[in-house]
Every structure is written in structure tokens, then in C-alpha cells.
Amino acid sequence: MRISPLIDRLIDSLQAQPGVGPKTATRTALHLLQYNRAGALALATALTDAAQQVQHCRLCRTLTESELCAICANPKRDAGALCIVESPSDIVAIEQAGGFGGRYYVLHGRLSPIDGVGPEELGLNALAEHVRASGAKEVILATNPTVEGEATAHYVKESLHESGTSVTRIAHGVPLGGELEYIDGGTIAHALQGRRRID
Amino acid sequence: MRISPLIDRLIDSLQAQPGVGPKTATRTALHLLQYNRAGALALATALTDAAQQVQHCRLCRTLTESELCAICANPKRDAGALCIVESPSDIVAIEQAGGFGGRYYVLHGRLSPIDGVGPEELGLNALAEHVRASGAKEVILATNPTVEGEATAHYVKESLHESGTSVTRIAHGVPLGGELEYIDGGTIAHALQGRRRID
């Protein structure tokens, strides 16, 4: 239903958010206009500031408005371990899990020749130099276990072959709390292949 | 996890939207910054424009940036039937259901003495005059079937007593597709009480 030009435009614009369709957008627009105009204006300012000022960290390429992100600027983070991820949200997921004290490198995508995404777009040409300069002893490949993610991991491994750096891949297998009978065959095959001796 | 001051502020501001918590807000912020900055800036403009310019329709009090909303300005809408609702989103719901060709009056709330919401805040003092001026033959009470909604409906009915206008209440009962065994007792009691002879 069309309400008024400005409200309709707000409803359309709200759908730029992932997972927000016409119904949620309508509810959100009316809620903000009825009860929280200050919040709507604060959100508008935050969107403008972030969209105009957020860029990529000079070292790890994650999103930040500073030259260096908080992790790269933190001297306590271990420069010896470099974790390669596809996107900034992967960093959020790994940081929230805790337990990793190293640094990151964000590809902003994965190799996908069909979409015109090659090594250049992912910053892979600069990666070997970055690894050398950072003094990383171990490069951990945390790209997603999809066809493109695996191809990307393979490419990175090959491109670091000459550097002599140790390259590892995160484990893929049965997730915690997962029950074997509900897990797909590919995951089970990975879990069997990646089995380890228990001492 | 704190990412950077501007991104953190965006994540906080996104949570002004109903149903959006930290996890959805983080995903939304990173998605907009990675893939859709133009959409983020368009959303910022739409939010600012709407929050600054949207007011209440002079006649029915719904949200619009014009003096009159699209329904009040539409001469084809039947001035003989006036439907009283709690909020603009109720108008959206009724319009989407179709079948009602009359006009509306928005209370922007319901009587709730505890929260300091009295007849003045709901525009109920102006309602009798509005009904007289609009020439409505029937006033349909479509407030929600809650304690406050029922109290509000009762108040409106009383306040229109002298006007001689016919006052009706929308039916409450078993929803279409609802199965009796899963429906609460209050609804079934209403459905029995509101039973009608079939001819």
C-alpha cells in the first residue's frame, strides 16, 4: 500500500538492509516516525558518516575509518600468525569465539572468474609481500568451505610457496552440538578425512 | 565486539529499528559498508526527510507530509463510514485486506491512565466535532481487543452518544484458518457471544 511519497521512499530505502522486505520496512518506517524520530535522525547521521569515512585498513584491508584498524594498531596482537578471511564479518565471528590472538588479512571476496573476481581484486598480489613484511610464521586460511573458498585457499597456498611460511587450513568437520545423523555427507567425509590421533 | 568508533555508532543506531538487535545490526552495518554505500546514503536522506517533514493529516491524524493524507484527499472515499484505529499501521493492515471504502481517524495510542494517556492525547475531544463535520453515518471502532483498546472503544461510544451516529465494533472471533483446538478461551468466548443467525 502506498502511504505518502516521503514515507514510501523511506520504506523502499529501508529495504537496502539484508533480510528486510516490504512488510518489515513498513513496520520500521511507521515505528520510527511515530515513536523515535530522534533515533531516525541519529541513524541517518551514523549512516552518512560511516558511508563517507569508512575505508580499508592499510595493513589488513578490513573496514575502518582510521589508517589502521584496532587489531593492526594493537601491539599485543601476535604478528606471527596471520589469518586470511573473506570478509570483515568473518573477523567479528572469530573474535567473538575468542582464542585467536594473531592478526588478519581480509580478501573482500573469493576467487570467482565468472564474476570477474581474480587475484588482483582480492589483494592476493600484495599478500606475499605483506606476509614477508609482517614477519608472520604461520598463515591460517579461514576462507569458507565452498568451491570458491577452497579454490581461493589453494591459490593463496601456492602463492606463498616460495616464502617458506607455514600455511594451515582451519578444520572442517562435525560442528559442536551437531548430531551425526543430521549432518550432510560432505561434512562427514571431511570430518573422517581430518581425523586426528587421540593420545 | 567493538570494530571502530564510526562502525560501532552505526551498529548502535541501527538498533533503533524494532526487532533489530546487536547481531542483525552488525550484519547490516558491514553489509551496507561492503556492498551498498549508495543504498546507505539514500537511506540516510530518506530518514532525514521523513523525520523532519512527516506530520499528522489535518483530518484523520495519520502520518503524512501533506496537509491531507491520500485517503482524506480522495473524493471517492465514502465519507459516511469513519473507522477509528489506534495507529497508522492499522490503516495499512485494513487497506491491504481491502473491502473498506470509508475514511479513518487515528488515535495514536489508546486510553492508558497509568501512562498518562487520556482523551486529550488521543484527540477524542475533537472527535465528536470531527464526526459531525464529516457527516459520517457510521463510526466503526477498530481499536485492538486489549483491555485498553476495549476501554478506548467504550469511551468513544459514550462520547458519540449525543451525536446520534451509529457506532459499531469490528467482530472478534475465530480467525480464518484457525482451528478451534488451538485457540484461546477468550477468543472462543467472544466468537460464541458474537454468533449470528445463518439464513
The dihedral through the CA atoms of A67, A97, A163, A191 has a sign that is negative
Same domain, B120 and B182: yes
What's the mean pLDDT when you consider all of chain B? 92
Q: Which pLDDT tens digit goes with each residue over A48-71?
A: 999 999 999 999 999 999 999 999
Structural domain that includes position B174: 63-197
Interface touch A49/B1, C-beta < 8 Å: no
Model confidence at B128: pLDDT above 90: no
Model confidence at A163: pLDDT above 90: no
Shortest CA gap B148–chain A (Å): 19
Kindly state the average pLDDT of the residues A28-40.
96
Which residue of B11, B17, B86 to mutate against A (max A Cβ within 10 Å)? Answer: B17
- Could you tell me if residue B162 is inside a domain? yes
Same domain, B19 and B112: no
Least confident of A31-40, B55-64, B189-198: B189-198
- Could you tell me if residue B58 is inside a domain? no
Model confidence at A142: pLDDT above 80: yes
Give residue A122's pLDDT. 87
Number of domain units in chain B: 2
Q: Counting one residue from A and one from B, how many pairs have CB atoms under 8 Å apart?
A: 190
CA B157 to chain centre: 19
The answer to whether residue A5 neighbours chain B at the CB level (below 8 Å) is yes
Confidence of residue A14 (pLDDT cuts 50, 70, 90): very high
Kindly state the average pLDDT of the residues A88-102.
92
Interface touch B45/A44, C-beta < 8 Å: yes
- Could you tell me if residue A94 is inside a domain? yes
Give the CATH number for residue B69.
Answer: 3.40.1360.10
Interface touch A6/B45, C-beta < 8 Å: no
Give the DSSP per-residue string, B29-58.
HHHHHHH-HHHHHHHHHHHHHHHHH-EE-T
Model confidence at A1: pLDDT above 80: no
Same domain, B182 and B163: yes
- Could you tell me if residue B34 is inside a domain? yes
Set of cell numbers at residue B78: 465514502
Confidence of residue A135 (pLDDT cuts 50, 70, 90): confident
Q: Which pLDDT tens digit goes with each residue over B158-191?
A: 988 888 899 999 998 888 888 888 888 888 888 8
- For A69-177, strand residue ranges (E) read 81-85, 103-106, 138-141, 166-169
Give residue B141's pLDDT. 94
- Could you tell me if residue A172 is inside a domain? yes
Same domain, B82 and B160: yes
Supply the DSSP symbol for A56: E
Question: Which pTM does this prediction carry?
Answer: 0.86
Confidence of residue A197 (pLDDT cuts 50, 70, 90): confident
- Phi, psi dihedral angles at A136 (to 5 degrees): -70, 130
Residue with cell 535522525: A41
Kindly state the average pLDDT of the residues B61-90.
94
- Could you tell me if residue B122 is inside a domain? yes
Chain A residue whose CA is closest to B40? A47
- Could you tell me if residue B14 is inside a domain? yes
Same domain, A182 and A131: yes
Interface touch B49/A9, C-beta < 8 Å: yes
Give residue A60's pLDDT. 93
Three-state SS for A9? helix
Same domain, B105 and B67: yes
Q: Which chain B residues are within 8 Å of A41, Cβ to Cβ?
A: 47-48, 51-52
Same domain, A107 and A15: no
Model confidence at A83: pLDDT above 90: yes
Confidence of residue B137 (pLDDT cuts 50, 70, 90): very high
Set of cell numbers at residue A18: 539484508
CB B82 within 8 A of CB B104: yes
Give the CATH number for residue B18.
Answer: 1.10.8.420
Same domain, A68 and A47: no
Confidence of residue B129 (pLDDT cuts 50, 70, 90): confident
Of B37, B46, B69, the CB nearest to A10: B46
Same domain, B17 and B107: no
Q: What value of ipTM does the predicted structure carry?
A: 0.86
Other C-beta atoms within 10 Å of B133: how many? 11
- Could you tell me if residue A58 is inside a domain? no
Of B7, B16, B44, the CB nearest to A32: B16
Same domain, B98 and B48: no
Set of cell numbers at residue A19: 533480510
Same domain, A169 and A94: yes
Interface touch B65/A6, C-beta < 8 Å: yes
Interface touch B4/A32, C-beta < 8 Å: no
Looking at chain A from residue 46 to 75, which residues have their Cβ under 8 Å from any Cβ of chain B?
46-54, 63-66, 69-70
Q: What percent of chain A has pLDDT above 90?
A: 65
Same domain, B88 and B33: no
